[in-house]
Structure 1
Amino acid sequence: MRKLIYGMNVSLDGYIAAPGDDIGWSVPSDELFQYWSDRLQATDLSLYGRKLWQMMCPYWPTVAQQPGATPAEAGFARRWRDMPKVVFSSTLGQVDWNTRLVSGEAVAEIARLKAEDGGPMDIGGATLAAAAMRAGLIDEYVLATAPVLVGGGTPFFTALDDWVNLKLVETRTLPGDVVLTRYETRR
Structure 2
Amino acid sequence: MRKLIFGMNLTLDGYTAAAGDDIGWSGAPSDELFQWWLDYELGIGTSLYGRKLWEAMSSYWPTGDRRPDATPAQVEFARNWRDTPKVVFSSTLEKVDWNTRLVTGDALAEITRLKAGDGGPMSIGGPTLAGAAMRAGLIDEYVVVTHPVLVGGGTPFFTAPAGRVNLNLMETRTFPGGVVLTRYETR
TM range (shorter): over 0.9
Aligned residue for 1:32?
33
In structure 2, list runs of 5 or more residues that go unmatched.
none
Letter of the structure 2 residue corresponding to residue 147 of structure 1: P
Aligned residue for 2:158?
157
Aligned residue for 1:180?
181
Cα distance in 2 for residues equivalent to 1:144 and 1:132: 19
Aligned residue for 1:2?
2
Cα distance in 1 for residues equivalent to 2:44 and 2:66: 24
Deviates more, 1:5-14 or 1:63-72: 63-72
Superposition pairs for residues 25-174 of structure 1, below 5 Å?
25-27=25-27, 28-174=29-175
1:115-160 deviations in Å (ceiling 9; x for gaps): 1121100000111000100000000000110111110000000012
The answer to whether the 8 Å contact 2:136/2:162 transfers is no
Letter of the structure 2 residue corresponding to residue 4 of structure 1: L
Number of positions where the alignment pairs a residue of Structure 1 with one of Structure 2: 186
Cα distance in 2 for residues equivalent to 1:160 and 1:44: 26
In structure 1, list runs of 5 or more residues that go unmatched.
none
Q: Secondary structure at the match of 2:87?
A: strand
TM-score, normalised relative to structure 2: 0.98
Cα distance in 2 for residues equivalent to 1:117 and 1:57: 26
Cα distance in 2 for residues equivalent to 1:164 and 1:49: 23
Q: Which runs of 4+ in 1 moved over 3 A?
A: none
TM-score, normalised relative to structure 1: 0.98
Q: CA RMSD in A?
A: 0.7
Cα distance in 2 for residues equivalent to 1:82 and 1:119: 14
